[in-house]
Amino acid sequence: MASSYTPLGIEKMATGENAGTWGTKTNANLDLIEQVLGGFKSVSIAGGAQTTALTVADGALTGTAQARMIEFTGSITGNQIVTIPLDVETFYFLRNSTSGSYTVQFKYVSGSGDTFTFATTNKGDAVLFATANDGTNPDIYTLPAGDVTLTGTQTLTNKTLTSPKIGTSILDTNGNELLKLTATSSAVNEITYANAATGNKPSLTASGGDTNIGVSIQPKGSGTVTIDALTFPAADGSSGQVLQTNGSGVLSFTTPSSGISMGKAIAAAIVFG
């Protein structure tokens, strides 16, 4: 009976086989086991959209699917697919070191099982388990790692987000920055946003270390601030001027006409509309 091989290429020697070469073959198996357990391979997937098949070499160290960690390298100009044989059962540390804004999908060579995909901007690491849980449609499972990429709707309980940090920036679903919070050397005063029950108004208030503190809202450049349909002027105005409305919600500074008392001018100016 001839020797057989495991899905990762380790030789299973049959009785009476390999007379005089057991030592050599055993050493080769030990080298391969060491590579499967902790080996590293760098695999270039450079080029346009294509599929790269990772291989298993029976009894040898040359298979690209027979290492614990695999780093994908090269400049890619199209979406990439990287496959492993259907019967491989092991876990991998993968690193996407490619350049180019394209996806890299890791999957079994065929079937409709679960897969893993590095997003176009994900030049990071992933821990995956190749389950070989089905002869036709085996699954690739994603295992928790130091950095976790969340997709879809997730509920986080007592978790710390580090990239981006809450307190640095909040992005919308297109990756555009919605809100940026700038840190100071002694950030003791804060903004608190509170939702409200039906019939009540939500509130945006100053909070933190100081007892009496205001809230500053400043436009950029010549921009304006609009609150409840009232547009405030960007400039500060001059001493003695008052705010007046144009009847359409746009406020501006004006100097009271002579002969009108300042008190009446101010009273008239603050009755908007």
- Confirm if 55 and 65 have CB atoms less than 8 A apart: yes
For the cut 60, the answer to whether the pLDDT of residue 266 exceeds it is no
For the cut 60, the answer to whether the pLDDT of residue 262 exceeds it is no
- Confirm if 31 and 59 have CB atoms less than 8 A apart: no
Specify the pTM: 0.56
Q: What is the pLDDT of residues 111-161, one digit of tens each?
A: 999 999 999 999 999 999 999 999 999 999 998 765 566 666 767 666 666
- Residue 80 backbone dihedrals phi, psi, to 5 degrees: -115, 150
Q: What is the pLDDT of residues 26-71, one digit of tens each?
A: 999 999 999 999 999 999 999 999 999 999 999 999 999 999 999 9
Between CA 36 and CA 31 the distance in angstroms is: 9
Cβ neighbours of residue 258 closer than 8 Å, sequence gap 6 or more: none
Q: Could you tell me the two tokens for 255? A: 């100097």
CA distances from residue 127 to 87, 111, 146, 155, 235 in whole angstroms, order as listed: 19, 21, 9, 21, 55
CA distances from residue 272 to 257, 262, 263 in whole angstroms, order as listed: 18, 17, 16
